[in-house]
Amino acid sequence: MNYLQKMKGTTSSPPRVSLSEVFWSWLGSFLGIAAVALVHFRLLSGSELLLVIGSFGASAVLIYGAIKSPLAQPRNLLGGHVISAIIGVTCFQVLGGGALASALAVSLAIAAMHLSKTLHPPGGATALIAVTGGEEIYALGYLYALVPAGSGALLMLAVAVLVNNIPKRRYYPEFWI
C-alpha cells in the first residue's frame, strides 16, 4: 500500500459491547473516581497535596471500561503514571513551562512507556499536566510522581480489582507483571 492508500483505513470498528459491560464500566468508574475525589476533597483540601488530576478520568476509561486491554493492566496503570510523572517534572524543571517542555514531556513519556512496556494513554496526560498544571503542581516537584500520580493510580487500581471481578464473565487483571 502506498503512502496515501494507507490513510484510507483497512478494517472496521470492533463490535459494540453488551449492556452488562456498559453498566459495570459505569459502576467501576463511578466508584473509582469517587474514591479519589473523596480523598482529595475531604482529606487533602487543607493541604498542598492533591489527588485528582485529569489523567485519572482517562485511566478510568481503561481500567473500568476496557479491562481486557493490555493498556489497562496494573503494570501499565502504575508504571505509566509514575514514569510519565517523573519525565514531566524533569522537563518542567529543566525547561520551565511552555511549548517545548510540553511536547518533550509527552513524547519522551511515550517513548519511556514503550521501552518499559508500561504504555498507558493517561500517562501522556500526567506528563503534560506536570508542565502545564499550574503552581499547585509545580510546587510539588517530584512528589507529584507519588501524590497524586502513584497513589491515585493505586487507589483506583484497588477499586478496579474489587469491582471488575464481581460479574462472572469479567476478570481483572489479565496480568500483573
Partner 1 sequence: MALNSKGSGNEARHNVLQDRDLQALTEQDLIKAMQEISGYLDITPGDLQEVYVLAYAQAKKRILSREAREIMTWPVYASQEDQPLQEVIELLARTGVAGIPVLDSQDRVSGVISEKDLVQRMQGGGQSFMGLLSACMQSKRCPAVKIKASLARDIMSSPPITAGPDTPLHEIFDMLAENKINRVPVVDGEGGLLGVVSRDDLLQALSVLGVAKS
Q: Name the segment binding partner 1 (CB under 8 A); options: 5-13, 78-86, 87-95, 135-143.
A: 5-13
C-alpha cell at 88: 514531566
Q: Are 127 and 109 in contact (CB under 8 A)?
A: yes
Contact pick of 27, 35, 52, 69 for partner 1 (by CB under 8 A): 69
What is the closest distance, in whole angstroms, from the C-beta atom of residue 21 to partner 1 in the complex? 5
Interatomic CA distance for residues 85 and 39, integer angstroms: 20
Looking at the Cβ atoms of 42 and 168, the one nearer to partner 1 is 168
Does residue 6 belong to the site contacting partner 1 (CB under 8 A)?
A: no
For partner 1, the closer CB: 13 or 47: 13
Q: What is the DSSP string of 40-72?
A: IIIISTTSS-----HHHHHHHHHHHH-TTSGGG
Site string for partner 1, 12-51 (x = CB under 8 A): xxxx-xx-xx------------------------------
The answer to whether 59 and 125 have CB atoms below 8 angstroms apart is no
Binding status of residue 107 toward partner 1 by CB under 8 A: no
The distance from CA 64 to its chain's CA centroid, rounded to whole angstroms, is 12
Q: How far is the CB of 118 from partner 1 (least distance, A)?
A: 16
Distance of alpha carbon 91 from alpha carbon 105, whole angstroms: 6
Task: Check residue 65 for interaction with partner 1 (CB under 8 A).
Answer: yes
Task: Rule CB under 8 A: say whether 77 interacts with partner 1.
Answer: no
Q: How many CA atoms lie within 13 A of 22 on its CB side?
A: 4
What are the residues binding partner 1 (CB under 8 A)? 10-15, 17-18, 20-21, 65-71, 169-170
